Structure 1
């Protein structure tokens, strides 16, 4: 600080932070001691209010949808998996210029909003910082895919499995159905996958964007 003063460099004291293990970076609190990224509670509360407002609506204006997407997109800085639940909402804004134009929200869009609502309702704003300490599915030779109307498939090394979804989950969101073969593969191949999963978490992508 004294050096900046000697060099006549302007300092914005409101944004000046002394050395600390917890600092705010672009609106996100980063705690390097606890290794967490924290979404400010005012952002969480705003999300809860917006999602509660829109989760049952069948029509919204372009301005309203863009406002909701802006809040959700900011939340995805901390909630990384959330982006796959924004794609269909963003698609609804394409080709529309008037801020007051009403957009019809179909069942899929409302399902995405409802999923966000259920998650945010109990979310404390904190996410563990894991960095790049993930092992890829290519390293494990594990690949999965799901189709809501057909079923799922699993390929692990030189083995393969396929099947239909149980009746009690067939109507769930495709993003949830994508998790079923992954969980089944981990259970089925537990002994073979254990050496990989004991070292670090696994990153298994799905094809649903």
Structure 2
């Protein structure tokens, strides 16, 4: 945490290692309890900087409890696979920094998104994003990633 620049930051070397670990994980068909524990620990650490990251960590953690011993394996599919894909896709563009722009707590921000765009309201301020015109690369992303782009990672300013 850098209190001068008001940013949370992941060290570059650890960020690159996490990206590589996620790429390796994507190639697995079966994973052991030990592999899941290792990945969950690293993603939990990264979640301190990645807003909303814990949402995509819960199913991985839950799957760990289903395996009795460290060497027991499970097929990589379903929710765990989707969550690991989210992390992999997000980490491929994440620069390891999160800016603390406002130290005042936000009490209510309302957002919604669909295939064509997204919008949000905070108090009397509002924004709208057309994916095709404003963020063409975001058109194919999961809706949670699209909302993150708008409200947390450099989306249009409210107003």
| TM > 0.5 fold call | yes
| 1:103 corresponds to 2:74 | yes
Contact 1:111 1:173 in 2 (8 A): no
Give the number of equivalent residue pairs: 130
Q: CA deviation at 1:135?
A: 2.8
User: Which residue of 46, 49, 52 maps to 1:81?
Assistant: 52
- Give the aligned CA root-mean-square deviation in angstroms: 3.3
Q: Name the TM-score, length of structure 1 as normaliser.
A: 0.52
Q: Which runs of 5 or more structure 2 residues have no equivalent in the other structure?
A: 115-139, 152-157
Q: CA deviation at 1:68?
A: 0.6
3-state SS, counterpart of residue 92 of structure 2: helix
| CA distance, structure 1, for counterparts of residue 142 and residue 27 of structure 2 | 17
User: Which residue of 61, 75, 90 maps to 1:119?
Assistant: 90
Contact 2:67 2:73 in 1 (8 A): no
3-state SS, counterpart of residue 135 of structure 1: coil
| CA distance, structure 1, for counterparts of residue 102 and residue 25 of structure 2 | 34
- Which protein shows a greater Rg? 1
Change in Cα spacing, 1:91 to 1:174, as seen in structure 2 (3 Å) is: farther
| CA distance, structure 2, for counterparts of residue 37 and residue 172 of structure 1 | 25
Match of 1:37 in 2: 8
Change in Cα spacing, 1:136 to 1:40, as seen in structure 2 (3 Å) is: same
Q: Name the TM-score, length of structure 2 as normaliser.
A: 0.66
| CA distance, structure 2, for counterparts of residue 117 and residue 143 of structure 1 | 24
